[in-house]
Amino acid sequence: MSEHTPENQEPLAEASQNDSVNQSRRKLTGTALGVAAVFTLASRPVLATNCVAPSAAASGNLSHHGTAPNCGGCKKWNYWISKSHPYKTKKFHDGVCFPKKRTGRANWGTKTIQNVLDNNNTGNSPDLANPVSREFAVTLLNIQAGYLPSEVLDEMKLQQMWNEWIDTGAYQPQAGVSWNADKIVLYLRGLQN
């Protein structure tokens, strides 16, 4: 029996070592699955589906205290093309709307909000292929018509968003989060029905 004792001990030591390797693999696999779940949750299209303020959309906080705001009345750009609204005749870069700056991101010259709605994604000018300008115009019209609740986004906050994007090429709805033009468009479109 003493002959078998060393043989039995050796496989036990080997099995013990294999178990620790397997445990570490299990821990690594579990961690990887956890990280994958976090990435999956983080990649949900929060910006495109919720009637929340920019800071709440940026943080992914979709909960509401009390009654949730209703953005169901917000209209898309094709509604506003033919709909009458006094702001549509204002110059897009009028001080009331979106100030023009020298960054080259959007220069509509003396064009009106109606022109911005009509000319989006057409023509040879880079300014006429600027979906961000159209979404800002649509959102302004929705705010002015009372379709967008002020607790979600008001005119002053919309203009702050515009100014920050024009100045820097991005908007920071909260510290450490930056939205490029595509994310801004996604958020603003997410407010529309």
pLDDT tens profile 89-107? 998 887 667 887 766 788 8
Same domain, 28 and 57: no
Handedness of CA 22, 27, 29, 30 (dihedral sign): positive
Cα–Cα separations (whole angstroms), residue 87 to 7, 72, 140, 143, 191: 89, 21, 9, 11, 19
In the predicted model, what is the mean pLDDT of residues 78-97? 85
Give the position of tokens 């040879």.
124
Same domain, 28 and 71: no
Same domain, 39 and 61: no
For residue 87, what pLDDT is reported? 87
Domain that holds residue 67: 48-190
pLDDT tens profile 15-63? 445 555 555 555 555 554 444 444 333 433 444 456 788 877 776 554 5
From CA 33, how far away is CA 44, in angstroms rounded? Answer: 17
Long-range contacts of 66-70 (CB under 8 A, 24+ apart): 69/149, 69/151, 69/152, 70/149
Same domain, 67 and 141: yes
140 pLDDT higher than 90: yes
From CA 161, how far away is CA 152, in angstroms rounded? Answer: 13
For residue 54, what pLDDT is reported? 83
The b/e string for 89-101 (b: 16+ C-beta within 10 A; e otherwise) is: ebbbbeeebbebe
Same domain, 21 and 68: no
pLDDT tens profile 152-182? 999 999 999 999 998 899 999 999 999 999 9
For residue 93, what pLDDT is reported? 86
For residue 146, what pLDDT is reported? 92
Which pLDDT band holds residue 142 (cuts at 50, 70, 90)?
Answer: very high
148 pLDDT higher than 70: yes
Count structural domains, the chain. 2
For residue 131, what pLDDT is reported? 85
From CA 44, how far away is CA 29, in angstroms rounded? Answer: 23
For residue 95, what pLDDT is reported? 67
Same domain, 24 and 91: no
